[in-house]
A = this chain, B = another copy of it.
């Protein structure tokens, strides 16, 4: 039988004003409506109402994970250092990792994600191809020492996550486990009522569908994604590609050197020559594993060093410093051009396609050159998508100008392949009696983050406004204040509760009807049933929290309607 929660006993204290440190809608409303309370930066308590919402979300996730045959386990959060040293993530995580020592000096971490430990558990439990495939999941507290925990529970340092891992012997098996998760995630987010987009998380060059993100569009989101208004293309901005289209048949004049004193930047150059920055070619020098490499992009575009780093990983990319120019007469700072760089590897954005013509450095102090043509005057060693994507960039699929939107990452599915299985030698005995290396997938849903995303997407000016399956109750019964009204409210609440309806009933004494109505709007239960003016006639007012529609119903009608 569903519980009847009485506001007079429930620990919920609503606030009229936004907390001083709150910038985002979910932070303001979840605190004001008494769902969460801050304990420290990025560390939160889930109060009774918040815990119910969290539980509703985990129930939906659990049901859908069970439905695809994933098995629930619970791994520790306090983890020994060694496996994370083996995978190199002990160092790679940098300051993001909470590290600690036990009484004997043994080193530990608080798990940010559990690929290493799941790999070891499965290595211990699974011996034959017959034991696979296996999909395991847990709903667990995770830790990341974010530099700037923000936006309430959206980006906490301690947070709830559902993480799952698949183990298969073949690439086809991994693709199937990935597909099952993708479909389960679509069902989960649909049931949660979360508007979401599935976007490619890595560029096509790196393997297409191997990784996708589930993004919930919201202004408070920290991710930007590109969305095609014409076709179904959507991608993390880091994954957007630009097609390489060589320009053929154009006649270009020969290279001409220009006197351009004091123009070491694109801005000064474009102004001096009276051309748009997009006509110039910017050549960024970086060190890749210590070797100087040039990266060419149109003068009006920025290089995304993160993207560049991902393309070149595991090589380490650094910016050049003044010292790197010592003894390099071929590198004239501010006046570099690809046509004179025989000794330097040249990477370029696909916009610098063969046949395109540019104004660029002449490799002499104070000089630039024009009519420098890609493929004629210089060769590109490798084309890479490294520019920061901008609104209006063409859709890689249909060419329409892309829209850029803010979103909250609520899920991520990822074909890991054999990276962790290689690290920990996770093999099973194959059908032919020989060991087979296992291939893995990893899949996450931010559970506490989903609460924030839902709040962002569904709230309105009055407050929170939960979808039915996620709301802390199905109906919020308000007793306007008089004894008769309270009696009726409690009677109806009990009847509804007995019928399996989850009821929150505001039976507080000494609280004005106005405050109760405002609180009901703020708390955001989908239906509000008021025992008010016509309580004496056993007539109640039913209000839809989202639409604001009201109607008067008799007690019997109200019970019939809400028990449906």
Taking CB atoms and an 8 Å cut-off, the chain A residues in 30-85 that contact chain B are 34, 37, 39-40, 43-48, 50-51, 54, 66, 69, 71-80
Identify the stretch in A122-130, A365-373, A436-444, A478-486 within 8 Å (CB) of chain B at 4 or more residues: A122-130
Interface status of A561 (Cβ within 8 A of chain B): no
Known: A39-B79, A75-B39. Is A34-B125 also a contact (CB below 8 A)?
A: yes
Contacts of A510 in B (CB 8 A): 130
Identify the stretch in A139-147, A319-327, A529-537 within 8 Å (CB) of chain B at 4 or more residues: A139-147
Asked if A158 and B45 make an inter-chain contact with CB atoms under 8 angstroms apart, the answer reads: no
Closest to A12 in B: B125
Identify the stretch in A95-103, A249-257, A461-469 within 8 Å (CB) of chain B at 4 or more residues: A95-103
> Contacting A46 at CB < 8 Å: which of B46, B51, B73, B103?
B73
A side interface size, CB within 8 A: 61
Q: How far in angstroms is the closest Cβ of chain B from A196? A: 25
Known: A66-B3, A125-B34, A125-B37. Is A75-B157 also a contact (CB below 8 A)?
A: no
Contacts of A73 in B (CB 8 A): 11, 45-48, 50-51
Interface status of A450 (Cβ within 8 A of chain B): no
Asked if B117 and A69 make an inter-chain contact with CB atoms under 8 angstroms apart, the answer reads: no
Asked if A103 and B147 make an inter-chain contact with CB atoms under 8 angstroms apart, the answer reads: yes
Contacts of A117 in B (CB 8 A): 39, 45
Asked if B51 and A141 make an inter-chain contact with CB atoms under 8 angstroms apart, the answer reads: no
Asked if A100 and B103 make an inter-chain contact with CB atoms under 8 angstroms apart, the answer reads: no
Asked if B143 and A78 make an inter-chain contact with CB atoms under 8 angstroms apart, the answer reads: yes
Known: A9-B69, A125-B13. Is A145-B102 also a contact (CB below 8 A)?
A: yes
Q: How far in angstroms is the closest Cβ of chain B from A40? A: 4
Interface status of A336 (Cβ within 8 A of chain B): no
Closest to A136 in B: B11
Q: How far in angstroms is the closest Cβ of chain B from A13? A: 5
Q: How far is the CA of A99 from the CA of B108 in the complex (A)?
A: 11
Known: A66-B3, A158-B77. Is A124-B11 also a contact (CB below 8 A)?
A: no
Q: How far is the CA of A108 from the CA of B103 in the complex (A)?
A: 16
Asked if A78 and B45 make an inter-chain contact with CB atoms under 8 angstroms apart, the answer reads: no
Asked if A78 and B158 make an inter-chain contact with CB atoms under 8 angstroms apart, the answer reads: yes
Interface status of A190 (Cβ within 8 A of chain B): no
Interface status of A201 (Cβ within 8 A of chain B): no
Interface status of A279 (Cβ within 8 A of chain B): no
Interface status of A316 (Cβ within 8 A of chain B): no
Taken residue by residue from 110 to 154, chain A's Cβ proximity to chain B (1 for < 8 Å, 0 otherwise) reads as 100000010011101111001100101000010101010000000
Asked if A76 and B121 make an inter-chain contact with CB atoms under 8 angstroms apart, the answer reads: no
Q: How far is the CA of A99 from the CA of B40 in the complex (A)?
A: 16
Interface status of A560 (Cβ within 8 A of chain B): no
Q: How far in angstroms is the closest Cβ of chain B from A168? A: 13
> Contacting A127 at CB < 8 Å: which of B13, B71, B80, B106?
B13
Asked if B98 and A99 make an inter-chain contact with CB atoms under 8 angstroms apart, the answer reads: no
Q: How far is the CA of A98 from the CA of B99 in the complex (A)?
A: 11
Q: How far in angstroms is the closest Cβ of chain B from A9? A: 7
In the complex, 24 of the A-B residue pairs with CB atoms within 8 angstroms, ordered by the A residue number, are A8-B130, A9-B69, A10-B71, A11-B71, A11-B126, A11-B131, A11-B134, A11-B136, A13-B124, A13-B126, A13-B127, A37-B121, A39-B75, A39-B80, A39-B117, A40-B108, A45-B74, A45-B76, A47-B125, A48-B72, A48-B73, A99-B100, A102-B157, A141-B141
> Told that A40-B78, A40-B108, A78-B158 touch, could you supply 19 new A-B pairs with CB distance under 8 A?
A9-B69, A13-B125, A34-B125, A37-B124, A39-B79, A40-B76, A40-B106, A43-B80, A45-B73, A46-B75, A47-B121, A48-B73, A51-B72, A51-B74, A77-B77, A77-B158, A78-B157, A103-B145, A141-B141
